[in-house]
Amino acid sequence: MIVRVLSPAKINLVLRVTGKRPDGYHNLLSLMCRIGLWDEIRLRPAPGSVTLRCSDPMLPRDETNLAFRAAQVFFEAQGREPGVEIVLEKRIPVAAGLGGGSSNAASVLIGLNHLHGSLFSRRKLMTLARTLGADVPFFIFQSPALASGIGDILEPCPRLPRFHLLLVCPALTVSTRAVYQNLNLRLTNCQKQLTRARLKKEAFHPARHLCNDLEIVTLTLHPELASIKRLLVRHGAVGALMSGSGASVFGLFRGADAARTAAASMPQEPGWRLFLADMLLDPVQLVQEQ
């Protein structure tokens, strides 16, 4: 049996950095939502090893790729010899603040669990995911979430309205590590007093809540991202923000037609990739048997 698994991207509607921890990581307050921009993963049992093939020739095909490592973690948790062939079709831009690598890892865990008769509960899969990276459990959570801690403590966020997105991904590679290393917590970008209690209580509104503390670093390094934000608003977005550490920027639109019109009107700058996507507010069937 071959299993096909969809692997969605995500955006950060809120990303507050609340402090640095003794272990070098940062405490966060983040509001995350999956979006309908997908990688696709196919899993086929192949006894004796983990192998990975990928449509992007620049991505590693060993344990330094989170999808590969996720398979190893799954089989280690079973206490059995690994055996799967992974074929990864990349559509989510790499190093763009959209969580593609974390999503791939989560989707491998979900797909392998399906292949093996749903051996592990969702709670157990999230425990395994936490060993792979702070963002990975979110993609198993299956709901928009408020994240705290280093981003791995998740609570559902049911009061999120449905927006349509236009995502602009310029030809830039941003190092998340470098962005955090250059972040001055006394000079954060977002002046909104957003707390966990407030985000749980209030219905999300772009003017009151869109916020990303990492923008002050990434936009200083790449000021063209600020121009993209202004362009999106000029073309009808009710709000625009950089996702994660960048370099992708998204605009929120109240209707799909408005987002499509904006996409058609945006300038065709060299290296820009534009994507239309919907917010995924409900659980999505990610796994199909082939």
Output the pLDDT for position 83: 93
CATH at 272 = 3.30.70.890
Q: Is the pLDDT of residue 17 over 70?
A: yes
The predicted model gives 186-198 an average pLDDT of 70
pLDDT by residue (tens digit) across 195-252?
A: 777 888 888 889 889 999 999 889 888 999 999 999 999 999 999 999 998 899 999 9
Same domain, 58 and 135: yes
Q: Is 10 a catalytic residue?
A: yes
Q: Kindly tell me if the per-residue pLDDT of 269 is higher than 70.
A: yes
Rg, Å, the chain Cα set: 19
Taking alpha carbons only, the member of 193, 59, 235 closest to residue 249 is 235
Structural domains in the chain (count): 2
Residue 285 lies in a domain: no
Residue tagged active-site, from 39, 135, 213, 229: 135
Domain boundary among 127, 157, 187: 157
Phi-psi region of 19 (alpha: psi -120 to 50; beta: other; left: phi over 0): left
Report the mean per-residue pLDDT for the chain: 92
Give mean pLDDT, residues 64-73: 97
Is 289 part of a structural domain of the chain?
A: no
pLDDT band at 186 (very low <50, low <70, confident <90, very high): low
Are 42 and 111 part of one and the same domain? Answer: yes
- Domain-embedded: residue 263: yes
Q: Is residue 286 included in any domain, yes or no? A: no
Q: How far apart are CA 31 and CA 160, in angstroms?
A: 10
pLDDT above 70: percentage of residues in the chain:
97
Average pLDDT over residues 128-147: 95
In one-letter notation, the amino acid at residue 31 is L
- Give the structural domain span for 213: 164-280
Share of the chain above pLDDT 90, in %: 71
Chosen domain end from 157, 172, 201: 157
Judged against a pLDDT cut of 80, whether residue 159 lies above it is answered with no
pLDDT score recorded for residue 20:
82
Residue 189 confidence class, pLDDT cut points 50, 70, 90: low
CA–CA dist 82, 208 (Å, integer): 48
Identified catalytic residue from 10, 39, 213, 229: 10
**CA distances for 117 relative to 56, 82, 112, 163, angstroms:** 30, 16, 9, 36
Evaluate whether 278 touches 166 at the Cβ level (below 8 Å): no
**Pairwise pLDDT comparison (129 vs 174), residue with the higher score:** 129
One domain for residues 216 and 194: yes
Per-residue pLDDT, 190: 66
Mean pLDDT of 114-119: 94
Q: Which residue has the higher pLDDT, 191 or 278?
A: 278
- pLDDT, residue 180, reads 81
CATH number at 147 reads: 3.30.230.10
151 and 7 together in one domain:
yes
- State the pLDDT at residue 74: 97
The end-to-end CA distance of the chain, in Å, is 7
| Same-domain check for residues 184 and 272 | yes
